[in-house]
Amino acid sequence: MAVSSGEAKNNGNTFLGIELGSTRIKAVLIDEHFNPAASGSHDWENQLLDGLWTYRLEDVWTGLQGCFRALAADAEARYRKSVQDIPIAAIGISAMMHGYLVFDTEGKQLAPFRTWRNTITERAAAELTEKFNFNIPQRWSIAHLYQALLNGEPHVKDIAFLTTLAGYVHWKLTGKKVLGIGDASGVFPIDSTVNTYNARMIGRFDELAQGAGWKLNEILPAVLNAGDDAGTLTEEGARLLDPSGALKAGIPLCPPEGDAGTGMAATNSVAERTGNVSAGTSVFAMAVLEKELSKVYTEIDMVTTPNGKPVAMVHCNSCTSDLDAWVNLFKETVELFVPQIGKKELYDLLYYQALKGEADGGGLLSYNYYSGEPITGLEQGRPLFTRAPDSRLSLANFMRTLLYSTLATLKTGMDILLKQERVRLDRLLGHGGLFKTEGVGQRFMAAALGVPVGVMASAGEGGAWGIALLAAYMREKKGLTLEAFLAQNVFTGNSGTWVSPNAKDAQGFETFMGRYTEGLAIEKAAVDHLK
């Protein structure tokens, strides 16, 4: 019989996971049965400064401290115990992947944090892709570094350490300059046969960067696998996270990971022929491969699971933002007649209405592009809704079209994997806001991709829960592989709710995609003429 979370705390077997997302920092404490036992969060936003999307490092620590205080308050309210009375067995740190954080030999930040959202490295990404014969997206850390080199930026010669946001926080908490292999795979290409940076490509980069004053291996974090010891919380690190003094030093930390890796852990998607799809502000799908792809595709990122297996990733910048804007407009309209309708209730009403729409959306067309989408060749975006005179405009068709548009760019990239490369996927697990209304986003995702899509209630805590699981794995693995540990210890009896592709929906989505692809010229014209 499973013990309660409170009893688990008496045993000291709790694990803390913290993830720094794009709009929220979240902490989750899990018990010895890997169930969320307490949580806390802190909202934050990136800033556009001097043309760059960034977060100030002071805001990182303000946010982490606020998040930890909220977690401690939640734990005390639930269990009448302070954090110092709840022994934590291990901690894990996760954050948005990619970006550019660089420091000199004394630990001084040399340039503002350039997040994954910046698309300023087009030349560098293109040149590295050609030189490596490996797709290097603009958001990757190595693209930012090489672009800074090409720009002749003065700080480059002083770089002693380059890392990600998760790697930075972990460094400050432990003193260790390391990355989990999943996060590292968004910094520089990984050789999955030896689970570290690709040596051939390291050598090629050093040839390109002659005269920089350093070799690439000298400034990159060391690569660790899931389960490896990544250091312990120092006294200085404990005070950075919890200035109150309740959190004690000496707690082990697992390798810091990126949000893609924690999403894989949180959805039990680290084994071959499995995958997961995260659909929120942005959308990305991960497919764990049985073999390498036959060639390089600029639409496909090659990253890894937290234990080093090759993963094909399709990443799209826009997903639900335009949909959310339309729901907010409907909320304003409805509240003229029915004051204070709940937002969750309205989302459910509108999503379920979409199920009543025609399979192809009735001839309507929508683009959800708040920013550029490399997969469809757009450097900028303009949210756009249009229709032909004979299209059938109804609320049901309108909502179905909006939901289809959140998945259209993802389908474009996934078709390369599933149709051209014949990648086999037995299942995809979904998480994120698109799946909050039961059975709708899940059904349309299955239709779009032709793969059964599941949703697990246990993944509701998202990446913070995922990195807490990786912290638990470091302490409790007992010789198991990560996929065996998750399958046997965490997800036993939690198979989720599954939806298989519906033939009528699938055919309707294909019809919609034909219209969507043909209409991309409209979206490009909007970018050109709507300033």
**For position 35, which CATH number holds?**
3.30.420.40
The pLDDT value recorded for residue 317 is 87
In a domain, 171, yes or no: no
Pairing of strands 101-103, 161-163: antiparallel
- The whole-model pTM stands at 0.87
CA-based angle 421:422:425, to the nearest 5? 120
Task: Mark whether 83 and 232 lie in a shared domain.
Answer: yes
Based on the structure, what is the number of domains in the chain?
Answer: 2
CB 319 within 8 A of CB 434: yes
CA separation for the pair 230, 180 (Å, rounded) = 9
Below-50 pLDDT ranges, the chain? 1-11, 459
Phi, psi angle pair for 49, to nearest 5°:
-120, 125
In a domain, 429, yes or no: no
In a domain, 339, yes or no: yes
In a domain, 15, yes or no: yes
CA-based angle 65:70:76, to the nearest 5? 125
Task: Mark whether 486 and 341 lie in a shared domain.
Answer: no
CB 97 within 8 A of CB 264: no
Query: Among residues 267, 269, 92, 109, which one has the least CA distance to residue 183?
Result: 92
Domain of 1 in residue numbering reads as 1-96+228-268+461-500
CA separation for the pair 155, 144 (Å, rounded) = 13
CA separation for the pair 440, 463 (Å, rounded) = 22
In a domain, 17, yes or no: yes
CB contact burial 280-293 (16+ within 10 A = b; e otherwise):
bbbbbbbbbbeeeb
The pLDDT value recorded for residue 459 is 47
The pLDDT value recorded for residue 339 is 82
The pLDDT value recorded for residue 494 is 66
Please list the residues that pair with 313 across neighbouring strands.
Answer: 286, 301
Task: Mark whether 250 and 397 lie in a shared domain.
Answer: no
Helix (H) or strand (E) holding 234: none
The pLDDT value recorded for residue 2 is 30
The pLDDT value recorded for residue 4 is 33
Phi, psi angle pair for 498, to nearest 5°:
-115, 145
CB 334 within 8 A of CB 341: yes
Task: Mark whether 515 and 490 lie in a shared domain.
Answer: no
Task: Mark whether 261 and 244 lie in a shared domain.
Answer: yes
In a domain, 29, yes or no: yes
The pLDDT value recorded for residue 446 is 97
Task: Mark whether 380 and 495 lie in a shared domain.
Answer: no
Task: Mark whether 238 and 91 lie in a shared domain.
Answer: yes
The token pair at 106 is 């004394």
In a domain, 441, yes or no: no
Task: Mark whether 371 and 516 lie in a shared domain.
Answer: yes
Task: Mark whether 246 and 382 lie in a shared domain.
Answer: no
CB 162 within 8 A of CB 209: no
Task: Mark whether 478 and 515 lie in a shared domain.
Answer: no
CA separation for the pair 223, 239 (Å, rounded) = 26
Task: Mark whether 241 and 263 lie in a shared domain.
Answer: yes
Task: Mark whether 512 and 489 lie in a shared domain.
Answer: no
3-state secondary structure 330-355: HHHHHCCCCCCCCHHHHHHHHHHHHC
In a domain, 164, yes or no: no
The pLDDT value recorded for residue 456 is 80
CA separation for the pair 143, 156 (Å, rounded) = 13
